[in-house]
Structure 1
Amino acid sequence: MTTSFTRRTVLASMGAALATPAFLKRANAAEVTLKLHSMLPAPATMNTQFFEPWIEEIRTASEGAIDIQLFPSMQLGGKPGQLPDQVRQGICDISWTLPVYSPDRFPVAETLALPFMVTNAEKTSVVMHKLMDEFGQDEYPGTKTLGFHTHDGGKFHTREGLIHTADDLKGLKLRAPNQATGKLLELMGAETVFFPVTEMVVGLSNGVIDGCCLPYEVVPAFKLQELTKFSSAPAPASRGLYANTFSMLMNQRVYENLSDDLRKVIDDHSGIALSQRIGRQFDTFEQMGKEVVIKQGNTIGEIAAEEISAWREIAQPVHQAWIDKLNDRGLDGAAILNRANELLDADQPA
């Protein structure tokens, strides 16, 4: 009797173990660990308020099967412009990249980085995702695109004096956020240099530049409120000066090697909904950054809508040059710019 009971007990226990191996495995250990490479320092809001919660959401949705490790400050080596290749080559599994750091390589993704191609971050991010779906499907071979977004429109942050008109830009040495915006600033008389945002503190500290053109959200991560004293922003009804574009990428082989249910977790946490969410978050980051500038006691000024309209006319050759560049790549440059403007002007991008 005792032997029979023991045998039944053992068999029942074995049966229970065999019936729930996936649950036990996912409850106790990750099936796959992914490396996410970020160019920004660990305290940056993109890391703490987007990546970390997103990572936890994926861990929860996968019942612990997917673990994503965040490596900030380019800890896996290389420079920000190399991040798309690092994803494709498998140096990292996921990354968040700026197309403008590899100029002309991802022309459709870079299009919304032209001057005056931004409303707010949420809407412009949705526009970018739709533009990439329609025209940019082939730009990132070897990767699965998880999302696209922009930040809010850039502002001038200068060491001495506000910017009210184009005349105020003459002779200023400014860090340009990308090549196209740099060309516009040069047309208005500024001297521009371009280097990644991660190198900007040195440029401001040693006097190589008099200021920079950036959204407020970047300010706290690099303590720019201590290095500049004046911020100048377009009037609220105007298009923003510029917005850099971002692409969130995953290695295609790694994605395809996931089980069906784990691929679904990634799919459920990517796509246009993710693009819109990041954009919305960047609008929140923008207000947070502005509050830091205000708290520092810096002076904030407004560039009148009429002045911005005049600047948009000055920017027309920059836009035409981009259309020609897209045409040279076998794309329909005018159609891409027209579609982008149509989506930006619509009440809801369709």
Structure 2
Amino acid sequence: MKTRCFAVLGALAFSLPAAAQEVTLKIAHFLPSAAPTQQKVLQPWCDEMKQASGGRIACQFYPAMQLGGTPAQLADQVKNGVADVVWTGPGYSAGRFPAIEAFELPFMVADATSSSKALWKFYQQHAQAEFSAYKVLAFHTDGGQAVHTSKKSVAGLTGFTGLKLRTSTRVGAKTLAALGGQPVAMPPAQVTEAIAKGVVDGSLGAWELVYPTKLSEVTKFHAQPAPGVAHPTATVLTVLMNKHKYDALPADLKAIVDRTTGEAMVARFGAMFDEVAADSRKRIAAQGNTITTFSATEVAAMKRAAASVEDEWVKQVGDKGLDGRKLISAARELTGTNK
């Protein structure tokens, strides 16, 4: 009898380490599950990790804030272990991550691919301290925000006057105000209804959002700079992992996470956002909507009007002990927008 008991206990002892090395990552974000971010980046990433780990890494998605709260609370949800991984915008938590906001300043981002690579370098060189509570898996930009409106086209600087537009970050709100518009803060999920009810006239937003949030159904006019020209504003986005969850992984699973994130994930996000933007513009044009391109003269006028946003930002981050001018200079050098 004793021999049988020892045999059973021995078998359990050998099986426990293997079981302990299996992990299911709870991944939360603020868009519907059909959004390109989940379907074209995060899900393929999970599939890659599952295959590389022989099935020992799995993912469970919680899109559209299914774990509760608001997009602004995602950073805390992953920090506190409510989620294991989140995709979110640091700027949704206004003022909490000031250094990384440099990439949301006016006319900093022209596309997703190049600006995301630049942002990753910027994070490594200038913003690691403010994300020390997380395992940072990636940073990227949305490629710049176009103007999506329901009733009239925005033709240059004067077109923003009095226009109520949803903005995603405090820097974006200040930029819109400097251009003469009226910023309104709200989660992406509420924007379509707000436009339909006339609460706002439209939204500043990446093309990636147009179909997942059904902006395509309530807006008829779209405006943006020419290809290669930086946009009035952009959103910084990030994939954050709970630090304790990462630290508890066996070394071989950590290696898989490391190998599939960082520069690899940054590049994947950048390419996807640019690809989806191009496809969305084609689809929008095909359904008869108007897409307006800002002229060089109009962009120059907008830059002059928004110049004060940088000055104000430098003062605000200076109060937090950061050298705003140095951060802006570094960001513009990395993005090539200092010309």
Q: Same fold (TM over 0.5)?
A: yes
Taking only aligned residues, the RMSD between alpha carbons, in angstroms, comes to 2.1
Aligned to 1:210: 201
1:270 matches 2:261: yes
Larger Cα Rg: Structure 1 or Structure 2?
Answer: 1
CA distance in 2, matches of 1:187, 1:81: 24
Aligned to 1:231: 222
The residue matched to 1:213 in structure 2 has which SS?
A: strand
* CA apart distance, 1:30: 7.2
Aligned to 1:39: 30
- Contact 2:111 / 2:228 at 8 angstroms: preserved in 1? no
Aligned counterpart in structure 1 of residue 316 of structure 2, from 317, 320, 325: 325
Aligned to 2:233: 242
Aligned counterpart in structure 2 of residue 257 of structure 1, from 232, 248, 265: 248
TM-score of the aligned structures, taking structure 1 as reference length: 0.88
Aligned counterpart in structure 1 of residue 59 of structure 2, from 68, 86, 104: 68
Letter in 1 for 2:90: P
Letter in 1 for 2:57: I
In the alignment of these two chains, the number of paired residues is 326
* CA apart distance, 1:292: 2.5
1:120 matches 2:111: yes
1:195 matches 2:189: no
Aligned to 1:10: none
Aligned to 2:332: 341
* CA apart distance, 1:343: 0.7
Letter in 1 for 2:190: E
Aligned to 1:8: none
Aligned to 1:146: 137
Aligned to 2:292: 301
Aligned to 1:98: 89
* CA apart distance, 1:180: 2.0
TM-score of the aligned structures, taking structure 2 as reference length: 0.91
* CA apart distance, 1:241: 2.0
CA distance in 2, matches of 1:110, 1:197: 19
Q: Deviations over 1:167-213 (max 9, x none)?
A: 12212221123222222222232222111212211211110011111
CA distance in 2, matches of 1:238, 1:278: 20
Letter in 1 for 2:205: L
The residue matched to 2:82 in structure 1 has which SS?
A: coil
In structure 2, runs of 5+ residues without a counterpart are 1-10
Higher mean displacement: 60-69 or 186-195: 186-195
CA distance in 1, matches of 2:38, 2:286: 23
- Contact 2:178 / 2:309 at 8 angstroms: preserved in 1? no
In structure 1, runs of 5+ residues without a counterpart are 1-17
